[in-house]
A = this chain, B = another copy of it.
Amino acid sequence: MNTLKGACIIGQSGGPTSVINASALGAIEAALDSPAVTRVYGAANGIKGVLDDKLYVMDEEDREELGHLRHTPSSALGSCRYKLKDPGADDTDYKRILEIFRKYDVRYFFYNGGNDSMDTCNKISKYMLQNGYECRVMGIPKTIDNDLSGTDHCPGYGSAAKYIAASCMEIYLDARVYDTGMVTVLEIMGRHAGWLTAAAALAGDYAPDLIYLPEADFDMDRFLADVQAIYQKNGKAIIAVSEGIHDENEKLIATYGGAGTHSRDSFGHTQLGGVAAKLAAFARDHTGAKVRGIEFSLLQRCASHIASRTDIDESYAAGRAAVENAVAGVTDKMVAFKCTRDGGYKCEIELVSLETAANTEKKVPREWINEAGNGVLQPYIDYALPLIAGETGQAKINGLPRFAKLRKVLAE
Complex CA gap A170/B303 in Å reads: 6
List of B residues within 8 angstroms of A176 by Cβ: 74
Complex CA gap A202/B177 in Å reads: 29
Cβ < 8 Å to B, chain A residues 140-188: 162, 165-167, 169-171, 173-179, 184
Which of the segments A30-38, A77-85, A242-250 contacts the partner chain?
A: A77-85
User: In the complex, what residue of chain B is closest to A18 when comparing beta carbons?
Assistant: B170
Residue of B167, B173, B204 near A74 (CB, 8 A) is B173
Contact present for B79 and A177 (CB under 8 Å): yes
Map CB proximity to B onto A79-98 as digits: 1 under 8 Å, 0 otherwise: 11100000000000000000
Contact present for A298 and B171 (CB under 8 Å): yes
Oligomeric state, in number of copies?
2
Contact present for B391 and A396 (CB under 8 Å): yes
Cβ < 8 Å to B, chain A residues 40-92: 44-45, 48, 72-75, 78-81
A258 at the binding interface (Cβ < 8 Å): no
A197 at the binding interface (Cβ < 8 Å): no
Contact present for A171 and B400 (CB under 8 Å): no
A2 at the binding interface (Cβ < 8 Å): no
User: In the complex, what residue of chain B is closest to A310 when comparing beta carbons?
Assistant: B399
Contact present for A169 and B403 (CB under 8 Å): yes
Cβ < 8 Å to B, chain A residues 1-33: 15-16
List of B residues within 8 angstroms of A391 by Cβ: 396, 399
A388 at the binding interface (Cβ < 8 Å): yes
Contact present for B308 and A399 (CB under 8 Å): yes
Q: Which of A44, A178, A204, A263 has the most CB atoms of chain B within a 10 A radius of its CB?
A: A178
Contact present for B16 and A174 (CB under 8 Å): yes
Contact present for B400 and A74 (CB under 8 Å): no
List of B residues within 8 angstroms of A410 by Cβ: none
Q: Which 8 A-B pairs have the closest CB atoms?
A: A74-B173, A174-B302, A170-B302, A388-B399, A389-B399, A74-B174, A45-B179, A79-B177
List of B residues within 8 angstroms of A45 by Cβ: 178-179
List of B residues within 8 angstroms of A73 by Cβ: 170, 173-174
Interface magnitude class on chain A: 35 or more
Complex CA gap A156/B338 in Å reads: 44
Distance between A71 CB and nearest chain B CB, rounded to angstroms: 11
Distance between A251 CB and nearest chain B CB, rounded to angstroms: 23
Distance between A85 CB and nearest chain B CB, rounded to angstroms: 19
Map CB proximity to B onto A365-381 as digits: 1 under 8 Å, 0 otherwise: 00000000000000000
User: In the complex, what residue of chain B is closest to A48 when comparing beta carbons?
Assistant: B179
Which of the segments A119-127, A289-297, A312-320, A355-363 contacts the partner chain?
A: A289-297
Complex CA gap A150/B383 in Å reads: 52
A401 at the binding interface (Cβ < 8 Å): yes
Residue of B72, B80, B171, B403 near A302 (CB, 8 A) is B171
A306 at the binding interface (Cβ < 8 Å): yes
Map CB proximity to B onto A386-404 as digits: 1 under 8 Å, 0 otherwise: 0011110000101111010
User: In the complex, what residue of chain B is closest to A72 when comparing beta carbons?
Assistant: B173
List of B residues within 8 angstroms of A385 by Cβ: 398-399
